[in-house]
Chains A and B, each alone.
Chain A
């Protein structure tokens, strides 16, 4: 079966660093994606990992460990506009379907 878990909500302070975890159990794996979604809007692509390790993109970094079925998204120098939901998605190897996790709602406080 497919199972992707994330914390439901997180709160952090402006300027701080926050780490959003994602654990997955899927029948096949062909990459893990992180998306940002503001309320009432469509998701936008943040990062992609297919090999183990850390991928850095400005204030955002994403880490993957395939053996542990684990990823995290690291957000540095938090800004108020970072308040959004963050979705972890796994692409299935056989079907190429994208399965989304439950999403983490991040609130950034002043």
Chain B
């Protein structure tokens, strides 16, 4: 299956600093990637849809100036948490959909390994 790699796996930073998380599709081109946030024992909350070559589409309640998303190429999307605060501590997961013409492809999402952010 398609592989999505996310980096870093975990990061600890001081309050007020910015953190960048990378999401790469390793063996396919992803015109669309999705960024999710997950709190402990809760489900995935869609933050934004990242489209290659255009601005990301943010979900209601997600601050676009706080969570900067860049999708500069067909294999890379980045999420930057700006001026991070302790309440931004969470598990961030990216996912991508493989654009395939195969009749057997269901369109399922392929997820990165996730990045656990801890803001002190």
Give me 19 other A-B pairs in contact (C-beta within 8 A), A45-B110, A87-B44 excluded.
A31-B106, A31-B107, A33-B108, A40-B116, A41-B114, A44-B111, A45-B109, A87-B43, A96-B32, A96-B97, A97-B34, A97-B46, A98-B95, A98-B109, A99-B46, A100-B43, A100-B44, A100-B45, A100-B46
Instruction: Say whether B101 faces chain A, with CB atoms less than 8 Å apart.
Output: no
Interface of B is mostly: strand
Q: Are B34 and A98 in contact (CB under 8 A)?
A: yes
Instruction: Give the interface size class of chain A.
Output: 20 to 34
Contacting residues, chain A, for B34 (C-beta < 8 A): 97-98
Q: Are B113 and A43 in contact (CB under 8 A)?
A: no
Number of interface residues of B (CB under 8 A): 26
B: residues with CB less than 8 A from A are: 1, 6, 32, 34, 36, 41-46, 49, 91, 93, 95, 97, 106-114, 116
Q: Are A45 and B41 in contact (CB under 8 A)?
A: no
A: residues with CB less than 8 A from B are: 31, 33, 40-45, 48, 50, 87, 89, 91, 95-103, 105
